[in-house]
Amino acid sequence: MSVWEIKLPQGITEITQEYVRGNMPAGTTEVVIPEGAKSIRLMAFHGCVDLQSVVISESVKSIDFHAFLGCTCLESVVIPQCIKSIGVGIFKGCTSLHSVEIPEGVE
């Protein structure tokens, strides 16, 4: 298992597709979204087929449309209580997904 603990440069608060593609090591199976990140943007992890689990910090407030589109090996995601909004289709094409914890009150 290869874990990628994202280390955002100072002043960066969004996890974008460009950031993921430019920084995520090949073969990463687990991603830890750090404190300080505020949002996971549109298609950020699109097509990350080796990704199996994601842990999202309490500082993240929104997850945009199709954030995990096509992550076919993704099995589990823990979404923290502080999430305010989740976009449509964030797990579209995640055919291995069997565990998602979504807190009450999320839009």
Place of tokens 């589109």: 69
Q: When comparing pLDDT for 78 and 106, which is higher?
A: 78
**Separate counts of helices (H) and strands (E) for the chain:** 1, 9
- Average the pLDDT over 4-12 and give the result: 84
* 53-95 confidence digits (pLDDT tens): 999 999 999 999 999 999 999 999 988 888 999 999 999 999 9
pTM for this one? 0.90
Q: Which of 85, 52, 93 is nearest to 69 (CA)?
A: 93
What stretch of H or E contains 77? strand 76-78
DSSP state of 21: H
pLDDT, mean of residues 7-34:
91
| First-last CA distance in the chain | 33
